[in-house]
A and B are shown apart, each in its own frame.
Chain A
């Protein structure tokens, strides 16, 4: 397989991104982003439990434009990873493997995760007044 005297034909450099590979990469990327956000969540809880000033500062940063944007993306990652995770669980039960089902479930995951994110944020902003 490894013959250094021959070039390796391009793969990720030329392959067309399709719903299959893009959603799969998105699942991995959202999982990574969720992990980082979870660390931030733990930090937030720690400051809430201990230092009041640090908690206030952290909340102020989270309320800034950048903080809100990151929280929005984290919510999107959460719902995408959740919906795509259910799709993965169905696949583990060998359900939904026909190409039409793969594409249908893929688009449902995309639209459902965006919709859930928007609903959650609308509710949160409405609750905040």
Chain B
């Protein structure tokens, strides 16, 4: 029951989803329909079934859930391997983002069995039977598992994620002590996969104005950086009811981060700094 790191899976769950209608708040033309059940591989003993969200804007059909069955003995160990196998051998129209296949680029973030994670570091052993895969939550779906992240990245740009400082006094580089550099640990490692932001209920309800945990983690990364000289301006930017203060410490973000980072803590640090700078 005690989860020590975000890669641990829940042992038992009373509910797999909140007890609300499956298609709550969805316009009728986008209600998810049951989709195609693809043929099973012949002679396979170790099979895995995957239920995957499909949407093709070009065929005029509503989104649907397709069921694929793959032979685990003929497939790599991770969920991304299964998706690539499906795309190569079963349905080449399956669309998803992927790049590094080792959990450092943040491309393959998606909602796997109800929580957000990277497909390339989610082992097939850790999936439910059948596994259920949706695109990252609360994004406009471009196609299948690909969501429109432009708004999320626009929010990221809005916090000015670069060092703002005068030219360094020694004319060469901004000096920083090892202690000050250690203050960035746990914040600079963010790969901008947006698993946290997509899992934040506050961002679901107010995503147009609330910045979300990923962006706020990066805001703290620059606030905590001793080399940055625009601290006051950065904090002024966050002084409004929505950008920072829609965070109610729900902490889905910290629970789901595939890199084990702590956006909830970063946001609490920002809130503390907003108070202490006034004193």
Spell out A's residues near B (CB within 8 Å). Answer: 1-3, 5-21, 24, 88, 91-94, 97-100, 102-104, 107
Do residues A1 and B254 form an inter-chain contact, with CB atoms below 8 A? no
- List residues of chain A with CB within 8 A of the CB of B55: 7
In the complex with contacts A11-B198, A12-B18, A91-B268, A1-B140 CB distance below 8 A: yes
Do residues A14 and B140 form an inter-chain contact, with CB atoms below 8 A? no
B258 at interface, CB cutoff 8 A? no
Do residues B3 and A99 form an inter-chain contact, with CB atoms below 8 A? yes
In the complex with contacts A9-B139, A104-B2, A14-B254 CB distance below 8 A: no
Select one of A8, A17, A19, A97 contacting B30, CB under 8 A. Answer: A8
CB distance from B64 to the nearest CB of A (A): 11
- List residues of chain B with CB within 8 A of the CB of A103: 1-4
Q: How far is the CA of A13 from the CA of B137 in the complex (A)?
A: 10
**Nearest-CB residue, chain A, relative to B140:** A6
- List residues of chain B with CB within 8 A of the CB of A8: 26, 30, 138-141
CB distance from B118 to the nearest CB of A (A): 16
Spell out B's residues near A (CB within 8 Å). Answer: 1-6, 10, 13-18, 20-26, 30, 32, 53, 55, 57, 62-63, 111, 113-115, 132, 134-142, 147-148, 151, 198-199, 201, 204, 207-208, 248-252, 254-255, 262, 264-265, 268-269, 271-272
Select one of A6, A11, A17, A102 contacting B13, CB under 8 A. Answer: A17
Select one of A5, A6, A11, A20 contacting B251, CB under 8 A. Answer: A20
Do residues A9 and B53 form an inter-chain contact, with CB atoms below 8 A? yes
Do residues B17 and A16 form an inter-chain contact, with CB atoms below 8 A? yes
Q: How far is the CA of A8 from the CA of B136 in the complex (A)?
A: 10
Do residues B255 and A20 form an inter-chain contact, with CB atoms below 8 A? yes
Do residues B115 and A3 form an inter-chain contact, with CB atoms below 8 A? no
**Nearest-CB residue, chain B, relative to A87:** B249
Do residues A18 and B134 form an inter-chain contact, with CB atoms below 8 A? no
In the complex with contacts A3-B148, A21-B201, A24-B249, A13-B139 CB distance below 8 A: no
**Nearest-CB residue, chain A, relative to B203:** A11
CB distance from A97 to the nearest CB of B (A): 4
In the complex with contacts A94-B268, A100-B3, A107-B1, A13-B140 CB distance below 8 A: no
In the complex with contacts A3-B148, A11-B138, A18-B255, A94-B114 CB distance below 8 A: no
Query: Do most interface residues of chain A lie in helix, strand or loop, or is the interface mixed?
Result: loop
Closest 3 A/B residue pairs (Cβ): A16-B114, A7-B30, A97-B265
Do residues B10 and A16 form an inter-chain contact, with CB atoms below 8 A? yes
- List residues of chain A with CB within 8 A of the CB of B254: 20, 97, 99, 102
- List residues of chain A with CB within 8 A of the CB of B271: 92
Q: How far is the CA of A100 from the CA of B224 in the complex (A)?
A: 24
Q: How far is the CA of A91 from the CA of B266 in the complex (A)?
A: 11
- List residues of chain B with CB within 8 A of the CB of A16: 10, 13, 16-17, 113-115
Q: How far is the CA of A11 from the CA of B4 in the complex (A)?
A: 25
Please name 8 further chain A to chain B contacts, defined as beta carbons within 8 Å, in addition to the given A9-B141, A19-B3, A97-B268, sorted by A numbering: A1-B140, A3-B148, A7-B30, A11-B138, A20-B251, A97-B264, A97-B265, A100-B4
- List residues of chain B with CB within 8 A of the CB of A98: 262, 265
Do residues B4 and A7 form an inter-chain contact, with CB atoms below 8 A? no
In the complex with contacts A6-B142, A100-B2, A18-B32 CB distance below 8 A: no
Select one of A1, A17, A100 contacting B15, CB under 8 A. Answer: A17
Q: Which of B1, B2, B10 has the most CB of A within 10 A?
A: B2
- List residues of chain B with CB within 8 A of the CB of A94: 265, 268-269, 272
Q: How far is the CA of A13 from the CA of B30 in the complex (A)?
A: 14
